[in-house]
Amino acid sequence: MLWPCLRPKCAQSQEKNCVHLGFLTESFPAMAEAVIVNQIKLILVLPSASNHPASKHQSIKRVLVIKHGAFGDIIQAQGAMRDIRQTFPAAKIAVLSEPGFSKIWQRCPYVDEIITDAREPRWRLDIMWQLRGKLYAFDPDYVVDLQNSNRSAFYRHYLLPKPTWSFIDKAKSAKAQFPKSMPSLERKAGQLRQSDLQYQHVMRPDISWFANDVAKILTDANVQQPYIALIPGCSARHPHKRWTKYGQLAKALLDDGFDVVTVPGPDELDLCAQIPGTTLTGDRFLDWFDLAGVLQQAEFVVGNDTGPTHIAAHLDRPGLALFGPHTTAQSTSIASRRLEAIETDDLNKLTVDTVLKHVRDAVSPRAVQG
């Protein structure tokens, strides 16, 4: 019996080097088996073990991840952090970040060590020398730059030039591939993919580990479910991100039978005091983890473009983010499976009725009746 060659579209009569397996099977059975296996691999384009990210990076023992901030960006980076951990399951992973975010990284299940960097001016050579000492002491084999800033590029060139780096280049070709208009999570996914790192979780950060049990806080404040959580503040540096009608929205929601909750930061106590409902402060102010717990239990969340709203999105809570002309919801990747966004050229012109309709359309009628 004469078997045909397994190569796709092989013109056997025209290819002198074509291997005919019938002849091999009859004369050299072991060689025939090897040829069959190789031909099947070619047809199916099976990746070899050496092409898998896990095997490519088996020799990596120490990984440094650079993510200085800001708060919302750190929250969004948690999907990428999970992928980095899965790419390097046996490696020691350190993160380089601002001191103010150390508590978040201490709780992060994907990090073994935190190296703090206050991002002092680079002309402070004494501080740069100290930072270099910290980085050399950790001695990374591989660096994942999730900040992709001019500062982290400086570190790549002058503080840690020896390790292999994953980063988004500032060259024109890279700018075309990773334009600033690209949503932030897509940029992270593209970077991981380009560096042959895993990227299954980067688009869907899971921060369930971030939220505290806040049952006692809610009980002590006599907050009844279902409740709506409002996030009326934002960074003091960005007052243009604030929608000013949360007080009117809160009154309408209370009339619908909801409890309304606000969770102010230190700069927002006076702002929240003007909003009807319950202002949750605990003994003083709720920390990030209690804040996440309050948002996790909310029936619905309405907030500005700010870190806590990103928390709600990546806790997979139903909600609505309010955006003025400063940026787009797409570029921040804040919209999720259950949290939507309203975008307007002028937040001052966004009406309470428009926001209230979104809430009523999203929340179940039973909750409204309760």
**What pLDDT is attached to residue 24?**
41
Q: State which H helix or E strand residue 107 sits in.
A: helix 102-107
**Does residue 145 surpass a pLDDT of 50?**
yes
Please state which CATH class domain 53-206 belongs to.
Answer: alpha beta
Mean pLDDT of 279-296: 88
Mean pLDDT of 2-29: 41
Please return the burial class of 49, using the count of CB atoms within 10 Å of its CB with bins 0-12, 13-18 and 19+. Answer: exposed
Give 153-186 pLDDT, tens digit per residue: 999 999 999 999 999 987 766 667 888 778 889 9
**What pLDDT is attached to residue 113?**
98
**Does residue 133 surpass a pLDDT of 60?**
yes
Mean pLDDT of all residues belonging to the chain: 83
Helices (H) and strands (E) in the chain, counts: 18, 11
Residue 329's SS3 state is helix
At residue 93, φ and ψ (nearest 5 deg) are: -115, 125
**What pLDDT is attached to residue 43?**
32
**What pLDDT is attached to residue 263?**
86
**Does residue 243 surpass a pLDDT of 50?**
yes
**What pLDDT is attached to residue 33?**
47
With cut-offs at 50, 70 and 90, classify the pLDDT of residue 201: very high
What number of other Cβ atoms are within 10 A of residue 171's Cβ?
Answer: 9
Mean pLDDT of 105-126: 97
Inter-residue contact 217 to 282 (CB < 8 Å): yes
Residue with the larger pLDDT of the pair 103 and 36: 103
pLDDT > 70 in the chain, percent: 80
Give 184-193 pLDDT, tens digit per residue: 899 999 999 9
With cut-offs at 50, 70 and 90, classify the pLDDT of residue 347: very high
**Interatomic CA distance for residues 115 and 242, integer angstroms:** 33
Q: CATH 3.40.50.2000 occupies which residues in the chain? A: 53-206, 210-369
**What pLDDT is attached to residue 13?**
39
Taken as a whole, the chain contains a residue count of 370
Give 48-92 pLDDT, tens digit per residue: 333 345 557 889 999 999 999 989 899 999 999 999 999 999 999
Tokens of 146: 């999730």
Residue with the larger pLDDT of the pair 336 and 97: 97
Classify domain 210-369 by CATH number.
3.40.50.2000
**What pLDDT is attached to residue 365?**
47
Residue 315's closest CA among 194, 218, 210, 216? 210
**Interatomic CA distance for residues 207 and 108, integer angstroms:** 9
**Does residue 222 surpass a pLDDT of 50?**
yes
Instruction: Specify the pTM.
Output: 0.78
Give 29-53 pLDDT, tens digit per residue: 444 444 443 443 333 333 333 334 5
**What pLDDT is attached to residue 316?**
93
3-state DSSP of 336-365:
CCCEEEEECCCHHHCCHHHHHHHHHHHCCH
At residue 49, φ and ψ (nearest 5 deg) are: -60, -35
Distance of CA 152 to the CA centre of its chain: 19
**Interatomic CA distance for residues 350 and 335, integer angstroms:** 19
With cut-offs at 50, 70 and 90, classify the pLDDT of residue 2: very low
